[in-house]
Structure 1
Amino acid sequence: METVTDVVEPTVLLAGRPDAVDSTAAALRESRPATDVMTATSRDRAETLVGEDEIDCVVCDEELSDTDGISVLYAIREEHRSLPVVLYAGDGSEELASEAISAGVTDYVPLSLTDEQPAVLANRIRNAVEKYRAETALKARGRRLAAINQLHRVLQDITTSVIETPTRDEMEQRVCDRLVESDTYAAAWFGDFDRGTNAVTLSASAGESCERLNELARQDGDDGHEPATQAVRSKEIQLVSELDDGGDERWREAALECGYRSLASIPITHRRSLYGVLTIYSKRSGAFRGHEDDILETLGNVLGHAFEAFQRKQTLMSDVLTELELRLPELETPLVDAAAGEDYTIRVDRTLPAGDDEYVQYLTADGLDTDAVERLADAVDSIERISPVGAGEEFHQFEVTQTAPPLTGTIATFGGRVRSATVRNGECHAVVELPSDVDVRSLLEALRERFPEAELVAQRTVEQDSVTTGEFRSRVFEELTEKQRTALEAAYFSGFFEWPRDNSGEEIAETLGVAPATFSQHIRNAERKIADVLLKHEREDRSEE
């Protein structure tokens, strides 16, 4: 079976007396020409080479220029408990062998160099290195499996705790705590991206604190290459599996000084919205590879879903919102470009998320008939489907499924929604609602990256309508006829709205003594009236704008 040493010959450090080390090195090179042999004649030099270079095995004579081989063995074992150390002596000595075993020697070779014995020493080295590499690979595999299991536990915890965790801040802290609760990862922190300064600011952390790294992320700005900043700019995971292999960037030096050997920065996104970045540090070289990388991507997606839910909940639960009125004088979108030269008005009545990077929009078009709108849609690559849903004497309504519209996507990034938007001959007027703590300046900067002429017409603080449960129930029952209310209550208490249904419409109709078609008509009318109470005022508001 092929082993690691069949592929890569070992790097050997030969430590011994000046008069013997050169001849021993020459003999080893002749026996195994591919072996990289380094030499040291003092304890300090041996310790330095072991610390600075990737040594696979130390071969130590019983005597050096300033000490003995046993002292070198003890010194190496203080920092490198498993590195192979082979001690050889000119004459076999049971006392020396016993002391070497007590000090943690890998192999003891009682020999004096003759023409035949370099091959014996080379084989002893080869055996020690093969065992060392196999054990190291097994430990690394165990650490990777532990890391994967830890990530799976964090994922499971996030999935089950989204409902019971009241705020995003608490969720961020919970994720950091779970990541570092074992020794798989040394530290973890969340950061918010400041579009004004292009820097990342710490929002939650756990594990071994290293303030210098956090400060570098905050100062990174436009010219830096710190992984967390790169992650939020590119919206792609940044992995550094070997911090030792790289340049002299300040963040890399700081991470190494903190004792870290690898890191991963995961942008937290959902659809096209960016919610921040999660950075994880490990003291393992070669971390964040293979399946571990795949789970980190999943972790970022799950957190993106969770953070969007928190932001949506914040908007819904808040009594106060920030309302912006925007003017985009030269709206450049495929649909507007395709309609150039037409005298028309397109009103966006509602935009709903339908999947990753996909939205459903309900549009009302004046001045464009159904055929004209469908021809325009055929010219727009981002529109996947368009269907007419209604018409009046002077307008047509459509349901359009398309990839994220630029205005909607930008506003969603800040946890807001487009309450209304009207496009008239290429100029767009939009009203958007945002959580009260959103930085409006940062939003406008992000918006102007896509629409350079975007103009803030007005900014208002508005209160959401507050309706009690009793008031809403009264409104609904005022709209329902007695027969509709009877059908609705019978359907609800009979499990008609459960899945699967406890009772079918035919069974409930029989109980009520009416025809199935009559029951179905009452239910449909009741559902429509409930939807009207919920949503009709929004359509009326848009028609007045």
Structure 2
Amino acid sequence: MGSGHELAATALDTLPITVAIIDDEGEIQFTNQSWSEFESAERDDEHIGSNYLAAAVTADDEYAQQAVDGIEAVLAGDRDSFSMEYPCHSPDEKRWFLMRVTRFPHDGQRLASLVHLEITERKLAELAAEANAEQVQKERQALEHVLERVDGLVRTVTDAAVGAETRTEIEHDVCRRLAATDPYVLAWIGRVDVTNRRLSPREWASDDDVPLEDDNLVLDADGAHPAVQALERDDAQVIADVTAHDAADRLWPRGAGDYFQSVAALPLTYGDVTYGVLVVFADEPDAFDERELLVLDSLSGTVATAMNALEVRRMLTTEAVIAVDVAIEDPSLFVTALSATFDATVSYRGLTEADDGTPLVVLHVDRTLEDDAVDETGIAHDVTILSTTDDGTLLEVATTDGLVTALSEHGAVIRKLIVTDGVADLAVDLPDGRSARSAYDLLERRYDRVELLSYYERDEPAQTPHDVTARLESSLTDRQLMALRKAYYANYFEWPRDISGEELAESMDISRSTFHQHLRAAQRKVLAELFD
């Protein structure tokens, strides 16, 4: 039996748990090695023979009292066992233990085993799970609140945008409804003045007395403002905390944080056309999280779509066009390169297409050129001489990515394009403001220096190539239309003629008689459209 007790004691010493045996008075009779090491680390006095219950009672701790009550109930025979979990934190770390008390008889004595098992890892996992569950619940509640608020916001802003009759009405109603929605306190929509490169708030609304920002924003100078960044980067921009932003004092007057603490700016874009920028202010920091920006981005798209619909409707019912005159200085512009190569003035005559659909630009050079002069230009375009007269040379340039074709894709009608001394003077008519803005942005992106000379609305529109083609495409074949355009652009109908029918036929790689057949058929159909 003695050897059995020694074997049991040795085995208990190997277990990663603390074990003690107490008698019915609470006095410690035996401990394993883990208990001894733990107790020695906690206090210096000898634990064998000490009273466990007396030591526990002195601890001013609710867990200690709970443990004493449980142990006494087991020793008194009121229950066979007792267990509890309790914290036992040190200054360096948090720890939790599971205590289990079990009564057993030995040699006529009533004894109890006390086992303490560390459960820190399990407890930390449980606490983390509880925290996650609480966080998930909070996020669910916040999401439900956001969805409820957003649903109403989307409905009311969409109704305002779709139901408006004018662009100003859209801007006014959208700002008013945004400013009336918590946590927003101010909203404004700005438009770009192409002439002086300023972004100007056109319509705004605020909650209570939140002031509108002062003055207009100069696009090149106010790059720190989120509205300017949103416009130039074509993406939403956010200042999460105005009071901590480096440029806040420059962008807004001191005390602005008393009115708003975060700002979001979103471009109003439909396709490749930007109508302006929507700026929203909130009275709390970090108001524009990812979900909020998704909603606002969707709303800005709805507003831009509504503005586009109004522009299209206006285009169908008005006779006005936007006239834009610019000066372009960039040696990479192919007409400028031609002018520099030939040391001559180059002017635009018109645009047609080859059989394969390649755009063909007809240009006039105010000097006589030989074939070898064109061959030696080194310009990355297919340049052909159509005719040569005392007044100059008529060229045909095949290009798919030039200025003329790009403007044509934006609905522009070129009134004038003349290049002299490295400067291209360009005058175009565009169907509406959005097309004008889009075309001007295209020029600024492509070329080194673009100077806006004038920008105004004309009541008498120029007839667009699309208008002519649409009326005649049902009767003119591609070859007939090409022959007619080439003859017109090359001054074939002038007297004396700048070009012969044979030269035009050669440019189309057909015989002279075939060219005249196409031309006469086209003339007959045009006259029938005019007189019938």
TM > 0.5 fold call: no
* Range of TM-score over shorter length: 0.3 to 0.5
| TM-score w.r.t. length of structure 2 | 0.44
| TM-score w.r.t. length of structure 1 | 0.44
Greater gyration radius: 2
